[in-house]
Every structure is written in C-alpha cells, then in structure tokens.
Amino acid sequence: MATRRMEQCAWVAEVERAVADGGASSEESSRWRQQCIYRVPTCIKNLNRKAYQPQVVSLGPFHHGEPQLRPMDTHKRRALVHFLRRARKPLAAFAGAVAAAGERLEAAYEGLGDEWRVGGGAAERFVELMVTDGCFLLETMRTATGWEVNDYDGEDPVFSAHGLLYNVPYIRRDMLMIENQLPLLVLDRLLAVENGKDGNEDVINRIVLLFLSPTAAWPLTTGTGLALHPLDMFRRSLLCGSPTPSGGPRAPPPDSPDDIIRSAEELYEAGVRFRRSATSSFLDIRFHRGTLYLPAIVVDDTTEYVLLNLMAFERLHVGAGNDVTAYVFFMDNMVDSARDVALLTSRRIVYNTVGSDKAVAKLFSGLSRDVVLEPHSALDDVHREVNAYCRKRRNRWRANLVHTYFRSPWSFLSLAAAVFLLVMTVLQTVYTLLPYYSDKS
C-alpha cells in the first residue's frame, strides 16, 4: 500500500523520468557549454570577499543596482550618448543587434535571475543593460588608450584626463572580477553596427588587452577567435608565447616521489641558479643545466585579486585548464619567506611594489588556500627535473654545507676560524718535526 502511494508522488515520477532519460539532457549540456560567467561559491568567497567585489562599476547583471555602484550609472548613460553621437546610428539599430544575440548572451551567465531572463519577460531590460554597459566599456577603453580622440568635456568627472587618471585603475580592476564580466560578444555586435561589417574579433581582443595591460610586451596572436570576456582575454595574454608541450599530460614515473618543490633559497643552496625567462608567459618556466628560468611578475595592490579571480575562473569553467593555478602553486612553494622574495627580486623575477618582502611572501602563501590542483599540471615536468637535480648526492652535500656554514656571517666566521686554527696546528706540527728529521738525516 505504501509503495503504491509513493508511486503516485510527483517527485517520484519526476525522478523516474530523469532515470529513464539517461542522465543530463541535451538542453542541459548545451547550457553548460555556453556558460562562462559565474557566481563565486560561498566556500571560496568567504576566504577573501573583497577580492570578488567590484568597487566602482557594475558590468552585467550580477552586481547591477548595488548601492555603492549606482553613482557610475549616470556616467554610463553619458557614455552611451557620446557613443551614439559619434557613431551617427540610431540606438534601435544597436539594440536590435544585441537583442538578436540575446539568448547567447543570457546563456553566458550561470544562475541568471528571472528578472533578467527573456523568458521571464525581461528582454527589454536585459538588452538595455547589455547595450549600456557595452557602450560604457568601449568608451572607457577607447578614451583611456587613445584609440580615439577624447571629445568629452575637460571637466568630465570620469572621461576627462583627470577623471581617467583617478578612475581607470579601479575600472580596470573591476573588469577582472569574475562575477563582473560582460561577454565580448556584446562589443562585437555593437561594432558590427558601428562599422557596418562583421569580423571585429581581433580588434576587440586588441583593445581589451591594450586597456588591461598597457605595458604588455607580448604580441597579440590574431585569428584565435573572440575571447569570452575581459578576464578570459587577460588570462590568454598571461599564457601566450609559452613553449607548446609535446604530447598530452603524463603521469609521474613510479620511482619519482611526488614531493613539493623546495623554496627559492633552498634551491639556491643546492646549486640552482635563477634567471628571468624570455617572455612573461606564466608557462614559460623551464629548468636547464642547473638554471631555473621564471617569468617576471609585478606584484602590486591588485595582484592578489587578479590571480584569485583567474583561479576561480579555471575552477568553475570546464575546459579552461589549470595553467594559472599551477603557476600560483609553483610560486607558493618557491616563496616561503622574505629571503626567497629578496633572492627572486635580485634576479629581476619579482618586481615588488607593495612594500616589504614579507608582504609578498604572505601574499603568495595565501593564494592557494583551499584551492585544488589537477593531478597533472603544466609544470609537472619542471617540478620533477628540479627535484631530481636537488636529490643528487653532490647537490645535497653542497646544500647542507651552505645551510650550515654560510647562512649567516657568524657561521661563516666560525668556519673560517676553525679552518685557520686547523691550518696553524698543521703548520706548527710540521715546523716542530722538521728539525728532528733534518738532524737525523
């Protein structure tokens, strides 16, 4: 009787249908593939809430309307007006182009609320948000990078030379928050109407990278397709120019213990030397004939937030890889103390702009808290090569000698005094026995 009643329950019937369907539906799989902008899970966000919270501007729906970000809405509307005046095209044309891609744009956001969904009757509101934020982004990047002549008033609080000087650093930081992303497809649709032609992927990638990394030394690879959003474009730039690994991921050999890599100072004591890599790619790390080549990194007030958001994107976006996460784990193991930072700074690998070396060491040690690394990362080969080098007998002896006698001036002076006394004792013995053997002969 009880079984028959349960068979009539709605949730039992629903689950039975799902079992009969054989798992995830094609609709669910398609939705997962299109998602690229995510809300950070609470378990990650609680470690450092400020790292994922925009400060001055909201981009997209997740943080739209928050009280501390509302003052920028007025400036967004002014940017939209300037954009339309310069483009000499009606707003309806731009809105129509964005609305045509509305389903793809909506699908890019994970867990988008019904108040923004087209199916929920919010099509006009969602298109308005995409067009307004997209035009604001284009105007900010073009004006700040000199892509176009600044036709804003000299007293403009945001787009004048003075306003850009004090606002661009915060806007740039907010553009790299994973919850605060705008699909670059929006910019593609806007430029298609403005220019009257498609195929603006390389132009969009270039202006985004120029704005996010104005001092970037690496060339932009063309023909790679439109990036998902600004954070994805920035991640691509950090990983470009690296040597292409041969073959797929390989499991470590059975006779190679999977121990963590030593700190920079311990490696130096074992005879490892450090040099700056030829590129700034996070994957341009290699070990050759006792020299470890590492890319240069500038550590400033935004480094922690940027790396945390990049790692969150790799964790949440299926297929993104774990290249940035692997780099952070590698550097976390390399940097244990201020002495490690000082060593890497002297080799022009770390450029410290945050103050003390201790602060940089603390920054790297806090980045990998509760972060999961895939079993086979891009730096596994380097890891094994360095450990194999340090396990050689002569390198172990050298490390023990340096660690024991050369870590401080007093240890070195004690060693020097002991050697001096030993030499003097030998000389005294020789001079004492020399007359005896001379007389005997």
* pLDDT per residue as tens digits for the range 369-403: 877 777 777 688 888 888 888 776 554 444 444 44
Q: Is the per-residue pLDDT at 253 higher than 50?
A: no
Sign of the torsion angle spanned by Cα atoms 213, 215, 218, 220: positive
The model's pLDDT over 149-195, given as tens digits with 9 standing for 90+, comes to 788 888 999 999 999 999 999 999 999 999 999 999 999 999 999 99
Q: Residues 390-399: contacts with CB within 8 Å, 24+ apart?
A: 390/262, 390/266, 390/267, 390/270, 390/272, 395/270, 395/271, 396/270, 398/269, 398/270, 398/271, 399/266, 399/269, 399/270, 399/271
Lowest mean pLDDT among 209-213, 252-256, 353-357: 252-256
Please tell me the predicted confidence (pLDDT) of residue 25: 63
pTM of the model as a whole: 0.83
What residue type is 313 in one-letter code?
A: F
Q: Which has more pLDDT, 246 or 359?
A: 359
Strands 350-352 and 273-276: unpaired
Contacts of 46 (CB under 8 A, 6+ apart): none
Q: Name the nearest CA neighbour of 116 among 164, 171, 167, 63.
A: 63
Please tell me the predicted confidence (pLDDT) of residue 90: 95
Please tell me the predicted confidence (pLDDT) of residue 392: 67
> What are the extents of the domains in the chain?
2-30, 42-195, 264-398, 408-440
Which two tokens mark 56? 């001055």
